Amino acid sequence: MEVIALVGPSGSGKSHRALAVARDYAADAIIDDGLLIRGSRILAGVSAKEQPTRVGAIKTALFSEPERAREVRECLAAINPPRVLVISTSREMTRRICDRLQIPHPARWIDITEVATPGEINRARQIRSQLGKHVIPAPTVEVKPRFSGPLIEPLRTFLRRHQAPPGKSRNLWVEQTTVRPTFNSLGHFYIAQNVVAQLAGYLVTAGGLSSSRVQVETREGNLVLNLEVTAPYGVFLPPLLQAAQKRVKTTITNMTALEVETVNITVSSLKLPDKKT
């Protein structure tokens, strides 16, 4: 099985263009937001857009629930597609989806800017931010039995193919579905950076480490955490710091469903052992 990936920021129109990209790159199946789609059929999984909260939606898209991951793995094994298109917001998220589904990491990466114009991406962002609409790349007849959101509408449109074979039309007629998830109707959800910083500062404290400063950066929707710590004197530090990095990244990702790209830990000072009296 070969895996290709379509990546881009949330709301940039990836799901809207999924069918055209799958056709261009001869992908036999699509994995998008918790669903396994083949042709016009939803074969397995649960849509992230069904979830009542944004955190739940992200966890569903990552196949965090073992039973759902197993269902999709078994279905993939049964249909054995030669090529699969995985859609996600980042390379790190794509790799985590592949690991959960036990499929190879992508052999080819496609950025949304390669298959959509700046105008198309901006239009997709406006629809997402103003109307709260999301696209599921499957016909409405497939979506309705699975989705209980407040808005389900058919979306029939022409998509312009960027890799159409010679002699073939560049326009692709597709039937998709727009939905408005519950978490969009309830407003926006966010986790303040100071909360993430406090959590990271707490998690890094183990084995004699203590946090003195935590900085949280956002890069294309992913988090980069920079921590300064005090470490115990006379201890071999690499394994201690690597364990702290892993603990911070894994726990914050699992608790918040936010993508942590990097955890940088700098030892700014050493703590001498307490003198025995």
* 228-251 confidence digits (pLDDT tens): 999 998 889 999 999 999 999 888
pLDDT score for 228: 94
Q: What is the CA radius of gyration of the chain?
A: 22
Distance CA 39, CA 43 (A): 10
| Mean pLDDT, range 33-39, rounded to an integer | 90
| Domains along the chain with CATH numbers | 2-185 (no CATH), 193-271 (3.30.300.20)
pLDDT > 80? residue 173: no
Between 162 and 140, the more confident residue is 140
* Contacting residues for 31 by C-beta, under 8 A, at least 6 apart: 37, 45, 72, 84, 85, 86, 87, 97, 101
Residue type, 130: Q
* 211-229 confidence digits (pLDDT tens): 889 999 887 667 899 999 9
Question: Helices 193-203 and 237-256, interaxial angle, to 10°?
Answer: 140
* 56-81 confidence digits (pLDDT tens): 778 888 898 899 899 999 999 999 99
User: How many CB atoms sit inside 10 A of residue 186's CB?
Assistant: 12
Max distance between CA atoms of the chain, in angstroms, equals 88
pLDDT > 90? residue 146: no
pLDDT > 50? residue 185: no
Q: Which two tokens stand for residue 147?
A: 């989705």
Backbone angles phi, psi at 133, to 5 degrees: -90, 140
What letter would DSSP give residue 127?
Answer: I
pLDDT > 60? residue 189: no
Residues in the chain, overall count: 277
Model-level pTM?
A: 0.66
